[in-house]
Chain A
Amino acid sequence: MKRNVWRRTGFVSMLTVGLAIPSQATDPVLGDVRMDRLSTTNAIPPVVFPHWKHRTEFRCYACHPEIFEMRAGANAVSMDAISRGEFCGACHDGHTAFAVGFDSCRTCHSGAEQ
């Protein structure tokens, strides 16, 4: 019980530090996908996925439809799923692309408005 409290405190403090890093939000671009299935309800800025950035690196069929179904709301992305190597975690593992962690929250959770 006590240990659990300490772990929770550590998680929250790391999260606070991570979110304190300024976001890399830019002007909205055609193809940006706002993902806010869980973020706002958890008081975290929503994800804005830059399609254009990924399109310069990979063709559509590298991700669609195996990793992401091509329909808004069809992909239940969560941080747990990403850490299991699903969805974004297929590449964002620290090898193919930057790893998902407390030092990179605001890279995806930029909270930019569309």
Chain B
Amino acid sequence: MPGRSQRWGFAPPALWCILVLAAGCSPEVRYRVLSGVFDGVPPPGTPPKERLRHPRSGTIPEPAPPPVPVPGAELAGAEIPEEPEDLRPHYETFAELVAAFPADASGGPDWVEAVRRGLADPLPSIEPGEPLAPFPLNVRLRSAVPGFDVVFPHAAHTYWLRCDNCHQEIFVMRAGANPISMTKIFRGEACGRCHGTVAFAAETGCPRCHVRMAGPAG
């Protein structure tokens, strides 16, 4: 059976512990002790940091506050260039085009006149760009047969084509250097490279080149 002094022998160390804990709880001491052991201890007096928590799965994130309208934002939005409205004429079927286009002397669609009237407005390039200026030179091609002289309008051709589409591969740029005949054209040479393949055919379009055949008015 232990004596009374032995029974209360735990009291002095327990008192010491209580004192040390109480002293350690003061901010200054806690800072001094903890900063000796750890890095980044906040000094006494700083407000406690907000604890970062990992978002638990299933928690609904708070909705972001609506953007505060900045004065002049409407003007800034208007500066974005909008796609310009396409007002050019388009044709779904060839029948539609034939109905709209003026007919030439042979009854086919007259593309040159259609462009002049604004019934077609083809773009000069895939990228936005300005068209080339038409080249206004009419070339009179003398015919061996009287009255069959041809007038070649450069202007009507340079609307569609660039100089290097025809020169110098198809036509040498020198007067008299290109002997043209209807035989050649029907073979697909000279004018026949396009006329008869993509442009009005030589078989039916006589008066469009041989201008005297169109009559006095033409």
Q: Taking beta carbons and an 8 Å cutoff, which residues of A are in contact with B?
A: 26-27, 29-31, 50-53, 55-65, 70, 90-91, 96
Contacts and interface: CB of A to CB of B under 8 A. Distances in A.
B161 interface: yes
Contacts of A91: 126
A59 to B, nearest CB: 5
A30 B108 contact: yes
Contact of A57 (B94, B122, B161, B197): B122
B126 A90 contact: yes
A59 B91 contact: no
Given A27-B94, A29-B94, A53-B91, A62 B125 contact: yes
B111 interface: yes
Interface in B110-168: 111, 120, 122-126, 131-132, 159-162, 164-165
A56 B198 contact: no
Q: Which of B94, B125, B161, B200 has the most CB of A within 10 A?
A: B94
Contact of A65 (B111, B122, B126, B164): B164
A31 B89 CA distance: 20
Nearest to A30: B201
Given A26-B94, A52-B97, A60-B165, A31 B122 contact: no
Identify whether the interface residues of B are mostly helix, strand, loop, or mixed: loop
Contacts, number: 70
A2 B126 CA distance: 43
Nearest to B123: A58
B193 interface: yes
Interface residues of B, number: 29
A33 B194 CA distance: 12
Interface in B83-106: 88-91, 93-94, 97
A50 B165 CA distance: 20
B132 to A, nearest CB: 8
B198 A30 contact: yes
Contacts of A59: 122-124, 131, 159-161
A57 B123 contact: yes
14 contacts: A27-B94, A53-B91, A55-B198, A56-B89, A57-B123, A58-B122, A59-B122, A59-B131, A59-B160, A60-B161, A60-B165, A61-B132, A70-B165, A90-B126
Nearest to B170: A70
B197 A31 contact: yes
Contacts of B200: 30
A52 B111 CA distance: 10
Nearest to B129: A62
Contacts of B94: 26-27, 29, 50, 52-53
A31 B193 CA distance: 11
Contacts of A31: 197-199
